């Protein structure tokens, strides 16, 4: 999902949860979207800035969660019997230096060996 706010010529892109252990960034970005929408609806300031000026001068693109499977894994919401868990488990076992930490090493070490 990609959200966009504003119609300005300057462009900014924010992404959250690129790394599964950084899942809190998705919550932070969604709070920003909520605050932006409330400010726009009420024509009030957003963190001290004019919402009209911000809306008309900046296009903000937000992808709140880049790695949802990883977030499900580290928050314990991915069932061990699911095919997604089994795939991630296999990746963690065979590619130990993968750039997206899976945390399987610490949570499921005995199952990986």
Range of the domain at 89: 68-112
Does 56 share its domain with 88? no
Spatial contact of 74 and 15, defined as CB atoms under 8 Å apart: no
Running DSSP on this structure, what letter comes out for residue 6?
-
Q: What is the pLDDT of residue 91?
A: 67
Does 40 share its domain with 21? yes
Does 21 share its domain with 56? yes
**Torsion over CA of 69, 66, 36 and 56, rounded to 10 degrees?**
-160
Lowest-pLDDT choice from 15-24, 36-45, 53-62, 73-82: 73-82
Looking at the structure of the chain, the number of domains it has is 2
Does 81 share its domain with 102? yes
Domain end point (choices 63, 79, 96)? 63
Rg of the chain in Å (alpha carbons): 19
Cβ atoms within 10 Å, residue 49: 11
Does 23 share its domain with 52? yes
C-alpha span between 23 and 106 (Å, rounded): 18
Over residues 59-71, the pLDDT tens digits come to 999 999 998 877 8
pTM of the full predicted structure? 0.72
C-alpha span between 12 and 6 (Å, rounded): 10
C-alpha span between 46 and 5 (Å, rounded): 13
C-alpha span between 42 and 45 (Å, rounded): 9
Over residues 42-55, the pLDDT tens digits come to 999 999 999 999 99
């Amino acid at each position: 999902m990609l959200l966009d706010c504003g119609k300005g010529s300057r462009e900014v892109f924010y992404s959250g949860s690129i790394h599964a252990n950084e899942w809190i960034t998705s919550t932070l970005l969604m709070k920003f979207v909520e605050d932006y929408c409330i400010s726009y609806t009420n024509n009030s300031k957003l963190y001290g800035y004019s919402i009209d000026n911000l809306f008309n001068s900046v296009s903000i693109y937000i992808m709140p969660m880049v790695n949802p499977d990883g977030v499900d894994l580290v928050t314990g919401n991915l069932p061990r019997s699911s095919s997604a868990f089994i795939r991630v488990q296999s990746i963690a076992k065979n590619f130990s230096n993968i750039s997206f930490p899976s945390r399987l090493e610490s949570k499921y070490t005995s199952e990986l060996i």
